[in-house]
């Protein structure tokens, strides 16, 4: 028996008609040889081998993993409230109810960092999951628990089924799991993973395809929800914009444009992390007055704004312990003090005006190219502070921004 290579789409760990028990024995022999540095009797699937290489590089312990303490209840609740996945939780549960109805599997939904936010299933299988630390608030990213459907789906960006000794941590060999990433249909960024897990004997080759279909249906529901909320905001804002007689936009809480008047067309306006009513400076628009609307903001461009002036970002790295950023244009000047990590990212982008991918940024920051999840999270936080001065795909300073580095 050979261990097959992975394809680009969802691939079952065990083929239809194959004996899972015999296959588990092969995987166990492969795993033991790989962990001891001996010649393997067969090659793992390529997605599994790639994952093993990543977690070995990260220093994960194959006997017990490197799991940190689980998030407390308050933090789990906070992340649930912030996650767009809460909008499709009912759809995910309904779509996979047939898989967990027999009581042998659990349904898990994790965020983009691999933290378990929701899980459901019978008391019997939940108790077994508890013994593995597979609980709400636990980190199931690859760097914590090695190869598994949640962490490996996040790293590979595709639906993954992991069976028996394909798991990197030995105590997980009695389980099988199938997970698929769920992407934000607006940006393409990963919101999290939906996963079905249970004892290894419950493996079925169709499970990973079903999980992938349900994930894509959830993305469709998110797309429809976003369209409806923008339509609702537009119905409220359009009459107001018509009466204002000046440049203005109506945007949702994430900056997506529902309606605009006397402003160059755009699909999104990047808002600062802490958005509040009042006057603030926004890239490409200048000074703006923000007023709350049901479901978003009315953004009125102040006189002399509309992005006609040059934007200059000055990055002061003279004192590595206290970096600073100053942004100025014809409409004003503001400053911020980034963290050392964020200052390092800005310095990298300043030296690479053509832009950097997440993998390239990971290589410069961490010496490896697989810390892309961490990179994306850090750049996302930085973009919220800088109000649209940074662009993505690849990461770079936005057009029209002049960068000056001091120190």
Strand-pair category, 175-183 with 190-199: antiparallel
Domain 20-223 belongs to what topology?
A: Beta-Lactamase (3.30.450)
Considering only residues 38 and 370, tell me which one the structure prediction assigns the higher pLDDT: 38
- The C-alpha atoms of residue 313 and residue 333 are separated, in whole angstroms, by 10
pLDDT in tens, 153-177: 999 999 999 999 999 999 999 999 9
Structure tokens at 229: 């909320």
Q: Cis ω on the peptide bond leading into residue 46 (within 30° of 0)? A: no
Mind spelling out the 3-state secondary structure of 79-132?
A: HHHHCHHHHCHHHHHHHCHHHHCCCCCEEEEEECCCEEEEEECCHHHHHHHHHC
pLDDT in tens, 329-339: 765 677 888 99
Q: How many CA atoms lie within 13 A of 283 on its CB side?
A: 25
Q: What is the pLDDT of residue 400?
A: 79
Strand-pair category, 311-316 with 401-406: parallel
Range with the lowest mean pLDDT among 198-212, 255-269, 373-387? Answer: 373-387
Q: Is the pLDDT of residue 184 over 90?
A: yes
In three-state secondary structure terms, 354 is: coil
Q: Are 211 and 203 in contact (CB under 8 A)?
A: no
Q: What is the pLDDT of residue 1?
A: 37
Query: pTM here?
Result: 0.78
- The C-alpha atoms of residue 17 and residue 351 are separated, in whole angstroms, by 55
CA 327 to chain centroid: 28
- The C-alpha atoms of residue 77 and residue 75 are separated, in whole angstroms, by 5
- The C-alpha atoms of residue 277 and residue 290 are separated, in whole angstroms, by 5
Q: What is the pLDDT of residue 266?
A: 87
Q: Is the pLDDT of residue 264 over 60?
A: yes
- The C-alpha atoms of residue 171 and residue 189 are separated, in whole angstroms, by 32
| CB atoms inside a 10 Å sphere around CB 46 | 14
Q: What is the pLDDT of residue 284?
A: 73
Q: Is the pLDDT of residue 211 over 90?
A: yes
- The C-alpha atoms of residue 141 and residue 71 are separated, in whole angstroms, by 14
Q: Is the pLDDT of residue 6 over 60?
A: no
Domain coordinates of the chain in residue numbers?
A: 20-223, 245-301, 311-406
């Amino acid at each position: 028996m050979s261990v097959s290579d992975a394809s680009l789409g969802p691939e079952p760990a065990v083929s239809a008609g194959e004996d899972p028990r015999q296959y588990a024995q092969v995987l166990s022999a492969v795993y033991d040889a790989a962990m001891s540095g001996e010649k393997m009797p067969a090659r793992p699937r390529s997605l599994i081998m790639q994952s093993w290489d990543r977690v070995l590089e990260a220093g994960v312990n194959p006997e017990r993993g490197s799991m940190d303490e689980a998030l407390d209840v308050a933090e789990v609740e906070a992340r649930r409230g912030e996650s767009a996945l809460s909008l499709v939780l009912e759809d995910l549960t309904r779509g996979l109810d047939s898989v967990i109805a027999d009581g042998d599997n659990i349904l898990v939904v994790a965020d983009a960092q691999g933290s378990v936010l929701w899980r459901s299933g019978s008391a019997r299988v939940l108790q077994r999951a508890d013994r593995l630390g597979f609980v709400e608030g636990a980190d199931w990213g690859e760097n914590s628990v090695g190869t598994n459907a949640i962490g490996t789906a996040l790293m590979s960006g595709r639906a993954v089924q992991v069976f028996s000794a394909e798991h990197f941590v030995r105590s997980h060999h009695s389980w099988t799991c199938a997970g698929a990433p769920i992407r934000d249909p607006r940006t393409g960024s990963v919101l999290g993973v939906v996963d079905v897990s249970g004892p290894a004997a419950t493996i079925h080759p169709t499970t990973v395809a079903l999980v992938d279909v349900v994930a894509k249906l959830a993305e469709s529901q998110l797309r429809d929800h976003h369209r409806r909320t923008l339509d609702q905001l537009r119905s409220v804002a359009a009459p107001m914009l018509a009466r204002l007689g000046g440049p203005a936009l109506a945007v949702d809480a994430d900056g997506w444009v529902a309606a605009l008047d006397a402003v160059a067309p755009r699909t999104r306006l990047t808002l600062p992390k802490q958005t509040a009513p009042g006057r603030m400076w926004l890239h490409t628009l200048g000074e703006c007055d923000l007023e709350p609307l049901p479901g978003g903001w009315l953004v009125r461009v102040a006189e002399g704004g509309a992005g006609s002036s040059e934007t200059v970002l000055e990055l002061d790295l003279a004192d590595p312990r206290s970096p600073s950023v100053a942004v100025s244009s014809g409409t004003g000047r503001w400053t911020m003090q980034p963290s050392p990590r964020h200052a390092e990212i800005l310095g990298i982008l300043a030296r690479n005006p053509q832009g950097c991918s997440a993998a390239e940024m990971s290589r410069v920051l961490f010496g490896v190219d697989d810390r892309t999840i961490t990179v994306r999270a850090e750049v996302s936080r930085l973009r919220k502070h800088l109000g649209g001065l940074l662009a993505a795909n690849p990461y770079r300073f936005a057009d029209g921004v002049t960068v000056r580095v001091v120190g």
